[in-house]
Amino acid sequence: MSRPTFLAILIYALVLGGLGTMRGGMFLLAIPLLVYVGVALWHAPRPPQLAINRTAPSGTTAEGELVPITLTLHNEGETLAELHVAETMPTGLAIHSGHTQLLTHLAGGETAELTYTVVVQRGTFDVTGTAVTLRDPFGLFSWAGVPPVTTQLTVIPRYQQLRSLRLRPPRTMGFSGPLAARQSGSGTNFWGVREYQLGDPLRRVNWRTSARYHEQLFTTEYEQERIADISLIVDARREHMLAGNGESLLDHEVRATAALADSLLRDGHRVGLFLYGYGIDGVLPGYGKGQRERILRKLAEARPGSQVFRTLHYLPVRLFPAGAQLIFVSPLADGDEAMLFRLRARGYGVLVVSPNAVEFEAHLLDQRQQPAHSLALRLARLERQQFLRQLRQAGITTIDWLVNESLDEALQVALGQNSHSR
């Protein structure tokens, strides 16, 4: 029972008792209580004139970082005898240090601050929960409200810096880049030798070959180096998403995609993003740092999808440029191979980066496994190996990535570019 209710009942009982017994003493007992309640009503809090401002780092923040937040309250009205402020954090933000509550006396014209630090996870967050409560000096009456103060935090995935990827897309674009175009032109890799033609620069004359022939010169040709049209596809189907120990398989997919986008855009390629699972969403192909920022922001919003897109059958192939290099980031499931084979048959270059869901789930299980669990795990591993073998036999480059190991090393080994061969 609240104090105002208790006092009201007590005063009412004293008045009724005085009327019933016709004794003035009971009326006299009620007078101090009536004065007490009257003074409390006079000082009852009214809607405050508070200017509230929340400051946080602008732009994007990488997941796992510490973000300082400061809430400033400036009283533009009358004195607030008892001011209580409490911040409520959305899911995905955890308090690291500081306090999210403040209890103070704030006179007119004074300012109070509330400072704390949060640890952020990937996502887009709206910090809106600022509860303000005022009480009178006697603790009888209060006023509560939630002022509309919104601060948005965009937390992009953290990712590993990758070395350049020597892809072999079916088609390249007409701009200079790092990829071999499979035709002669300007470049650094040897392509072949042809007869000298008028206008060829002397520095490209192959004197060793020309010395073998009488009065005939030969010119060295190099392989053209171009950029490619690359589409990154993230599998966000809900039924394939395992989670445990505070992380999900989708988190690893997103980090791998962010690392690939960063590496490919640094090399000058045109890169687009497609999120498959909860609808048709993504980023149109583009270049440069601005495109990287757009992709990272979109990846920050990635979440597991519904049952609408349970299979790859609904993948909108027409959205991908003809002859593009497709990089599919997915744990893979039965039935996915049909669409991957179809993409390969249509002339797309297909590269699959597959986080190993079997090993990821094995790490989530109890270490003291039953014999039946060990047998099931062995069968699951064999089934996955056979599935990946079918993809490789169809000409699809497939990377079986253990999420607790380096993605860069897995890519370099699979693409024939590890540190020993460079």
Encoded tokens for 189: 């890799």
Question: Which pLDDT score is estimated for 291?
Answer: 93
Question: Which pLDDT score is estimated for 419?
Answer: 38
CATH numeric code, 50-156: 2.60.40.10
Is the CB of residue 233 less than 8 Å from the CB of residue 192?
no
Is the CB of residue 123 less than 8 Å from the CB of residue 300?
yes
What are the DSSP calls for 371-422, one per residue?
HHHHHHHHHHHHHHHHHHHHHHHTT-EEEEE-TTS-HHHHHHHHTT--TTT-
Nearest-angstrom CA–CA distance, 54 and 327:
41
Is the CB of residue 285 less than 8 Å from the CB of residue 227?
no
Encoded tokens for 338: 């049909």
Q: What angle do CA 64, 70, 74 make, to 5 degrees?
A: 165
Question: Which pLDDT score is estimated for 260?
Answer: 96
Per-residue pLDDT of the chain (422 residues; tens, 9 = 90+): 566 676 677 666 767 776 677 766 766 776 776 676 666 666 667 888 889 999 988 878 898 899 999 999 999 888 888 889 999 888 888 899 999 999 999 898 999 999 999 999 898 898 887 899 988 877 777 788 888 888 889 999 999 999 988 888 877 655 555 555 565 556 566 667 777 777 777 777 777 777 788 778 877 776 666 678 899 999 888 766 666 666 788 999 999 999 999 999 998 888 999 998 877 788 999 988 999 999 999 999 888 876 556 677 778 888 888 888 999 999 988 888 999 999 998 889 999 999 998 888 877 776 555 666 778 888 888 999 999 999 999 889 999 999 989 999 999 888 874 334 44
pTM for the whole thing? Answer: 0.76
Domain boundaries, the chain: 3-42, 50-156, 176-225, 228-414
Is the CB of residue 308 less than 8 Å from the CB of residue 291?
no
Reference 108, options 135, 136, 78; nearest CA is: 78
DSSP summary character for residue 161: P
Is the CB of residue 234 less than 8 Å from the CB of residue 276?
yes
Is the CB of residue 130 less than 8 Å from the CB of residue 54?
yes
Nearest-angstrom CA–CA distance, 190 and 184:
9
CATH of 228-414, one of 3.40.50, 2.40.128, 3.30.450, 3.30.70: 3.40.50
Is the CB of residue 249 less than 8 Å from the CB of residue 355?
yes
Question: Which pLDDT score is estimated for 182?
Answer: 60
Q: What angle do CA 295, 279, 160 make, to 5 degrees?
A: 30
Helix (H) or strand (E) holding 133: strand 129-135
DSSP summary character for residue 319: G
Encoded tokens for 357: 């869901």
Question: Which pLDDT score is estimated for 420?
Answer: 41
